[in-house]
Amino acid sequence: MAGNTRVMIVDDSGYMRQVIRKHLENKGYEIVGEAQDGLEAIQMYPEVKPDIVTMDISMKKVGGIEATKKIKAIDPKARIIIVSALGESRFIKEAIQAGAHDFIIKPFAEERLISSIANALK
C-alpha cells in the first residue's frame, strides 16, 4: 500500500521535513511535495493532490491550523496529520476541529508516523 501512497510534507523546518521524508521513503511512500509554510501548502495541495498531508502547526505566514482549514475547504476528503510538539495541545485540538485526521507528537519514532498514516488511510 505504501508504494502508491503520495504524501505532502508541510513544515517550516527543513530538518523536520528531511526527517519525515526519510522515514516515509524508507517505507516506500512517495513524497510528492514539501511546503515550508501554510500558504505554500494551500497552493501546492491542489496541484499535487496527495493522499496524506503531514502538517506542522506553528509556521510563518500561514500556520497549520489555518492551512488545515483551507485545505479541508478545497478538499473535504483531505487527510491531514498534525505533527506537533507536546504543549501545543490547544492548537492540536483546534486543528482537529478544523478537520485534521490525527496528530503526532514530536519527537516521534518512525513507527508512529507510519502507523498514523496507515490508520488515516483506512
Report how far residue 117's alpha carbon sits from residue 43's, in angstroms, rounded to the nearest whole number. Answer: 22
CB of 47 to other proteins, least distance (A): 25
E strands of the chain, at which residues?
6-10, 30-35, 52-55, 80-85, 102-106
- Which of helix, strand or coil describes residue 19? helix
Pick 11 or 71: Cβ nearer other proteins? 11
Please, which residue, 25 or 47, has the CB nearer to other proteins?
Answer: 25
Q: 21: which 3 cell numbers?
A: 521524508
Choice between 46 and 107, CB closer to other proteins: 107
State the residues that interact with other proteins by CB under 8 A. Answer: 12-16, 18-19, 22, 58-60, 85-87, 89, 92-93, 96-97, 102-103, 105-107, 112, 115-116, 119-120, 122
Query: Smallest gap, in angstroms, from Cβ of residue 70 to other proteins?
Result: 19
Exposure string for 39-58, b = 16+ CB within 10 A, e = fewer: bbbbebbeeeebbbbbbbbe
> CB-wise, 6 or 112, nearer to other proteins?
112
